[in-house]
Structure 1
Amino acid sequence: MLSGARSGRRRLAAFAALTLSVSLLTACGDDSGPPTLTWYINPDNGGQGRLAEQCAASSNGAYQVDVQVLPNDASQQREQLVRRLAAQDSSIDLMSLDPPFVAEFANAGFLRPFDPGDVATFTTGVLKGPLTTAYWKDQLVAAPFWANTQLLWYRKSVVQAAGVDPGAAGFTWDAMIKAAEGQNKVVGVQANRYEGYMVWINALVVSAGGEIVGNVEAGKDATPEIASPAGDEAARIVGGLARSPAAPPAMPNAIEEDARSSFQGSRGAFMVNWPYVYNAAKEDVASGGISQSVVDDIGWARYPRVTADRPSRPPLGGINLAVGNFTKHPDQAVALVKCVTSLPNNIAYMLDAGNPAARGAAYDDPKVREAFPMADIIRTSINDAGPRPITPYYNDVSTSVQLTWHPPGEVEAPATPKETATFMSDVLQGKRLL
């Protein structure tokens, strides 16, 4: 997966050698006193850094923590970590890992599996959705820290005028798009050619009862399954919305914030997006960007169904914590994971950073329920969520989908899913480069 042109291999080899030499120089430093654990994190509002300080302080001098912030883009986060770990960088004690990359890292030997005696500590009370992403080959290789999901957000005034109930059990994408069209409004989605688009497509496919790729244990011999009735339904919805009057302006370039902007505008009706959007809207009121009446008009429901007779499988996001397999301080790193992922710190981080907890009991906390009035729907959605394909070749799978399904206005069933299946198979077999 990392191979390419010869010049690319030379650059990667040089980078790996440089990274390894830096790690060795660091390892030759002063070993007196408690070890300093390096935790590579995804960007947030500083909440992970504050947890690191608290856990170090409560360790009774067992360790200190140095937090290193990775890029905003998930793919760039993966690239930085892969390059360091490929060089067996011992300075990566702990990492905040996007769930789709867990299988790849574990399969490459980059992650230290947790001891059987610690498994219960990291899994008891964790919601089913994130728990499925923490294993590889029956070993727990990551600990769910926080989870995420998308909800259906709607403008109360619009649904009232349209005479629809987004909270009804059988509410579908078709009903939503039809209601938006009837009111001359738009549906906010993420359809740029990036990971957020893959999130949407995967949610549609699994909600229709299918999967994008099967037999993932076979690695490069995995079987693309997107050319199926479920894949056709997903293509029909994506292409249908893109060609509909309900498509927001510049839909092919839309990411989360673009969807939120459309939704909060005068033509906003519906939006699928992460829970952060609710507090973000309240912050917009405080800054004078929108009026309080917009926030008062926002409602929420579970992710819409593809077919009325099948419950939706909402998207799954979040962060798992994994210990680097080359760390010189595995016991202290595991102790840090135990501290960070504890129920009290799940609650504290959800309140601090606004990211939903992986442990179900966190949603019963009174302060959480006050801050997140949609807490029950978030918890149920995370528990029932459909993870993206769990495969060590996830980057190839995701990129194959993004390339063949973009722009969304050209997506059609069954042509697009068939094209994706062929393209993906060629990529996995090394017959085609991304």
Structure 2
Amino acid sequence: MKRIQFARGRRRRAIALASAPLVAATLLSGCGSGGGPPTLTWYILPDNGGSVARAQECADASGGAYQVRIESLPSTATAQREQMVRRLAAGDSSIDVLSLDVVFTAEFANAGFLRPYTAEESARLTAGMLPSPVETGMWDDQLFGAPYKSNAQLLWYRKSEAAAAGVDPTSPTFTWDEMLKAAVGQGKKISTQGQRYEGYMVWINALVLSAGGEVLQDVEAGRNAKPSMASPAGDKAAEIVGNLARSSAAPVDLSNAAEEQARATFQSEEGMFMLNWPYVLAAARSAAEEGTLPQEVVDDIGWARYPRVFPDRPSAPPLGGANLGIGAYSEHPDEAVALVECINAEPKATQYMLDESEPSPYAASYDNPDIRAEYDNADLIRESIAEGGPRPLTPFYTDVAGAITQTWHPPASVTAQTPERTDEFMADVLAGRRLL
């Protein structure tokens, strides 16, 4: 899932690292003397320099035990997966540490591409972390991915428009149906991700989970897992998507909207509500500082927990993030684990949150004074991650997500019959009877 990251501190980091651009590769050396310490290659997800900074600090602190070579992956989750699968399927021993979108950890672990962390390593690497991010790194009761960063979507709203509609989005029982009624009544828009890509899957999965269902049951059964969209939860999710998409509250570009298109609509005169990640507040503040967004728009932005599907059931905010795995063919697994333990320490995760607007998986980060000064919604982000709902943790996630986004797109085509059609198509895809 492609997201553009913003933070007021990122410019300082980018300038400081201008001599180490994320191109083909960046070699970060420690202070050791002769003897040739091993060079560990870390495949990172693109950012504004925060990963390079963490790696440099660890190379320096290693006392010459290792050097770190940075390789930057493509910007989209699909392209990241394709590049890593090709290399690991060929037994590439140069991959020591890799950053993985949370949805791919189970697939890579099941395929034998990752070295599992031992019980002792797992305890050290996850101490102090929120449970939900840790769950995304598990497969077959073992930790294969140590959470590097986490994320959860929030509900964003324009305070003035909510007040005019007489609704309180921060109410614990605020629902999608109430939100739609308020937006239609005010002649405003609800921004979310409706493009046929991972962001749309995030929306659909969150609705189903928030309604008490699952898009896939018995994931341990692999290709024999049971598609379960045809359920009361799936039916309600389809109702919400279809009703919004066919209403006057739907942005004209909903079927092509990703995170940034949603943000643009929300910040326009038409904006009222938006479902998006925490980075959008820092993005708005940066735009105001640069003079490209009126300060009154920033001042009008409010935030709340992801809306409920039913008033009597807490929502399951969409859970995102990335995990760090050890390549199964690495020639330096012990040093690679040491690198992961260093770059994943809580202080570095906290600093990364400040520099990159990427939430930390550590509970303690949200009590840090600097975080609380930068993030007025720190407690809400921590709560949303802690109670967030993951996408299916299955080795066949690509097939599952592809089947769902294909049958649910465009959003305006979603009807009461869509969940059942999805289950049939997903079952055929998992069984190899049909192709995406």
Could you say whether these structures have the same fold, taking a TM-score greater than 0.5 normalized by the shorter chain as the test?
yes
Aligned to 2:301: 298
Could you say what secondary structure the match of 2:71 adopts? strand
In 1: Cα distance, 2:414 partner to 2:390 partner: 23
Confirm or deny that 1:75 pairs with 2:78. yes
Match of 2:241 among 221, 238, 243: 238
Aligned to 2:229: 226
In 1: Cα distance, 2:346 partner to 2:336 partner: 18
Match of 2:427 among 418, 425, 428: 425
CA deviation profile, 1:331-390 (whole Å, cap 9, x unmatched): 110001101111111111111111000011100000001111100000000000000000
Confirm or deny that 1:322 pairs with 2:335. no
Match of 1:205 among 208, 220, 237: 208
In 1: Cα distance, 2:37 partner to 2:348 partner: 23
Could you say what secondary structure the match of 1:66 adopts? strand
AA aligned to 2:425 is F
Match of 1:95 among 92, 98, 104: 98
CA deviation profile, 1:230-289 (whole Å, cap 9, x unmatched): 001110001110000100121100000000000000010000000000010111112222
Gap runs ≥5 in structure 2 = 1-33
In 2: Cα distance, 1:63 partner to 1:244 partner: 57
Aligned to 1:9: none
AA aligned to 1:76 is A
Match of 1:406 among 404, 409, 414: 409
AA aligned to 2:419 is P
Could you say what secondary structure the match of 2:325 adopts? strand
In 1: Cα distance, 2:235 partner to 2:35 partner: 61
In 1: Cα distance, 2:264 partner to 2:132 partner: 29
AA aligned to 1:315 is P
Aligned to 1:7: none
Aligned to 1:11: none
Could you say what secondary structure the match of 2:115 adopts? coil
CA deviation profile, 1:64-98 (whole Å, cap 9, x unmatched): 11111111110110000000000000011001100
The alpha carbon displacement at 1:329 in A equals 0.6
Could you say what secondary structure the match of 2:183 adopts? helix
Aligned to 2:382: 379
In 2: Cα distance, 1:301 partner to 1:378 partner: 9
Counterparts of 1:342-361 in structure 2, within 5 Å, are: 342-361=345-364
AA aligned to 2:102 is P
Aligned to 1:127: 130
- Which structure 1 residue ranges, 4+ long, deviate > 2 Å from structure 2? none
TM-score by length of 2: 0.92
In 2: Cα distance, 1:117 partner to 1:309 partner: 41
Could you say what secondary structure the match of 2:311 adopts? coil
The alpha carbon displacement at 1:32 in A equals 4.9
Could you say what secondary structure the match of 1:211 adopts? coil
The alpha carbon displacement at 1:120 in A equals 1.2
Confirm or deny that 1:142 pairs with 2:142. no
AA aligned to 1:285 is A
Counterparts of 1:385-400 in structure 2, within 5 Å, are: 385-400=388-403
In 2: Cα distance, 1:53 partner to 1:301 partner: 37
In 1: Cα distance, 2:316 partner to 2:97 partner: 30
In 1: Cα distance, 2:357 partner to 2:339 partner: 21
In 2: Cα distance, 1:121 partner to 1:226 partner: 38
Could you say what secondary structure the match of 1:171 adopts? coil
CA deviation profile, 1:377-405 (whole Å, cap 9, x unmatched): 00000000000000000000000001000
Count matched residues.
403
Confirm or deny that 1:312 pairs with 2:310. no
In 2: Cα distance, 1:390 partner to 1:117 partner: 23
In 1: Cα distance, 2:133 partner to 2:58 partner: 23
Identical amino acids, percent of aligned pairs: 59
The alpha carbon displacement at 1:124 in A equals 1.7
In 2: Cα distance, 1:347 partner to 1:205 partner: 32
Gap runs ≥5 in structure 1 = 1-30
